[in-house]
Amino acid sequence: MHRGVGTAFRVAGKMAACGAEPQVLVQYLVLRKDLSQAPFSWPAGALVAQACHAATAALHLHRDHPHTAAYLQELGRMRKVVLEAPDETTLKELAEILQQKNIDHMLWLEQPENIATCIALRPYPKEEVSQYLKKFRLFR
């Protein structure tokens, strides 16, 4: 069993035993759309890799948080939502807002260029973070 998972599993189990629905946890990612377009024209695989890097880093950084432990407890039930930011400025503005509001996240910077490409939040109940993400649409 992974570190911290036992506690999260017991909490979810107690909720289910009481008849309460366990919280649905979602990991949100916000990926730059402009990187797929000219003048950047990154291939789809490169963009997917950026989202994967950000998601993995956010999960690792916040691995001891009970929401993260619960999220990782049932691998087949993980939920991710990938949203699009139009450009780097918008992505960095979102990172600043999340920082100010103490929302745990990871702003992934592609190296060695130091380009901000994606933000991944740690797993959260949707209602706790939706207000900060409502202006972003699903990535297409």
Q: Cβ contacts of residue 19 below 8 Å, gap of 6+?
A: none
Q: Cβ contacts of residue 63 below 8 Å, gap of 6+?
A: 3, 4, 69, 72
Return the domain boundaries, the chain: 27-135
Please name the amino acid found at residue 140.
Answer: R
pLDDT at 23: 82
The pTM is what? 0.84
**Domain 27-135 top-level CATH class:** alpha beta
pLDDT tens sequence across 108-127: 999 999 999 999 999 999 99
pLDDT tens sequence across 17-38: 455 666 899 999 999 999 999 9
